[in-house]
Amino acid sequence: MSSDRDAQDLLSRWQRGNVMAADCPSRPVLQHLTSRWGALVMVALATRRHRFAELRRAVGGVSERMLSQTLKELEADGMVLRTAHEVVPPHVDYELTPLGQEAARHLIPLIGWIEGNLGRIPSAGQGAASS
For residues 54-93, which are near its own copies according to CB under 8 A?
Answer: 58-62, 76-78
Q: Establish whether the linkage from the previous residue to 89 is cis, with ω within 30° of 0.
A: yes
* Residue 53 engages its own copies in binding (rule: CB under 8 A): no
Give CA separation, 4 vs 8, 10, 11, 88, 114, in Å: 6, 10, 10, 55, 20
Q: Return the H-helix or E-strand segment holding 76.
A: helix 64-76
Nearer to its own copies, 65 or 86 (CB): 65
Classify burial at 74, counting beta carbons within 10 Å of its beta carbon; exposed 0-12, middle 13-18, buried 19 or more.
buried
Nearer to its own copies, 86 or 114 (CB): 114
- Nearest distance in Å: CB 36, its own copies: 6
Nearer to its own copies, 90 or 122 (CB): 122
- Nearest distance in Å: CB 97, its own copies: 10
- One residue of 28, 53, 68, 92 binding its own copies per CB under 8 A: 28
- Nearest distance in Å: CB 53, its own copies: 16
- Nearest distance in Å: CB 87, its own copies: 26
- One residue of 18, 65, 87, 88 binding its own copies per CB under 8 A: 18
